[in-house]
Amino acid sequence: MTKINRFGNMMPSEEQKRRPYLLDRTPFQIAGNLYYVGNEWCSSHLIDTGSGLILLDVPCASGLPGLLYNIDYLGFHIRDIRYIIVSHAHTDHFGCVNALVHRTHAKTFLGAVDAQDMREHADRMEAMNQNLGVYNETFSPDVELQDGDIIELGNTRIRCVFTPGHTVGVMSHFWDMQYKGKTIHVGIYGGAGFGSLSRKALEKNGLPLSMQQTFLSSIDKVWNEPVDLMLGNHPFHNDVYQKYMRRCRGEEEPFIDPTEWHRYLQELRDCYSEFLKLSDEEIERMYASSQLQAYYDGCFESDGGEGEDTPGECDRVS
């Protein structure tokens, strides 16, 4: 089997770009008040705080119908979305924020450094928006987050940690969740892809070469965070669907794994240090084709088939 670099080129296929609904899948409860409402490409997490809903990252505008369907499927109402938190200023995490705000008036959050970058590089942002499909829009966050800021709503208190590298203003998020009488530490690393950190890409975006070191320092910064349940802002970062399928097959709590955080960050470090040794040509070759399809190979074998709901025990929301 070819080794998958989950931090490399994981873009949807041309077919999936033309027909974005092919990326959609049935949503599910991860644990407690935490739900997966994203698609096969981009994660979106919903937290039911008891005083309204928090959405952590939203897909591109082309993923909006799927997101709305997923929220509805789980029995929640769009109008109850109070906060939308965006991990970093890339279109595949904020593309439909404006569309959601238009109907919900939800309050939006983004790291202050990324918010400033968005304002100062409107052209670069617009190019990225257009490259990732129609209707994507840059947004103006209501709250510009600083390192250590807390976002609180109902039963949920999210700590924001500044972890630049993937973009200049990435924020990682950590919070405690009560589940089955225990406190579960939830954590999500805000931006892990490193394609934007090649010498060429940094030059193109007018960023200093020192960003390459910044990326590593950010991993070190959160290394000691206690994380029992690791989320990813792409489903292929924390094997969301594979875990869901494992649970369908009867495994108790595949999402709770206190060893995953370090395994993940170490894999990220290792892949990144390999990446830094590559020449421009090798990097080009590495990013020439997507590994997304290969990554999902066999993952959904035992369910109803591509895109189909899998009714029964598997879909039960408690």
Q: Where do contacts with Zn ion occur on this chain (CB under 5 A)?
A: 90
CB of 191 to Zn ion, least distance (A): 5
The least distance separating Zn ion from the CB of residue 225, rounded to whole angstroms, comes to 20
3-state helix, strand, coil split of the chain in percent (to 5) is: 35, 20, 45
Token pair in block for residue 138: 């840059």
CB 182, CB 121: distance < 8 Å: no
Shortest distance in whole angstroms from residue 95 CB to Zn ion: 12
CB closer to Zn ion out of 41 and 261? 41
CB 156 within 8 A of CB 175: yes
* CB nearer Zn ion, residue 127 or residue 150: 127
274-313 as b/e: b if 16+ CB within 10 A: ebeeeeeeebeebeeebbbeebbeeebeebeeeeeebeee
Least Å distance between CB 172 and Zn ion?
A: 13
* C-beta closer to Zn ion: residue 113 or 256: 113
CB of 138 or CB of 310, closer to Zn ion = 138
Nearer to Zn ion, 52 or 235 (CB): 235
- Work out how close the CB of 76 gets to Zn ion at its nearest, in angstroms, rounded to a whole number: 26
C-beta separation of 6 from 287 below 8 A: no
Q: Which is nearer to Zn ion, 90 or 247 (CB)?
A: 90
Query: Which stretches within the chain are classed as H helix?
Result: 14-18, 64-73, 91-94, 97-104, 112-120, 122-131, 199-204, 211-222, 240-248, 260-276, 280-286, 292-296
**Residue 8: CB minimum distance to Zn ion, A:** 13
Q: Which residues, in sequence order, are CB contacts of 19 under 8 Å at separation 6+?
A: none
Q: Which structure tokens are listed for 70?
A: 């997923």
On whether the CB atoms of residues 205 and 196 are closer than 8 A, the answer is yes
> Residue 66: which of 43, 50, 49, 87 has the closest Cα?
43
Q: Measured at CB, which residue is nearest to Zn ion?
A: 90
Q: How far is the CB of 304 from Zn ion (least distance, A)?
A: 31
Nearer to Zn ion, 20 or 254 (CB): 20
**For helices 260-276 and 211-222, angle between their N-to-C axes, nearest 10 degrees:** 170
Q: Tell me whether residue 159 or residue 234 sits nearer to Zn ion (CB atom).
A: 234
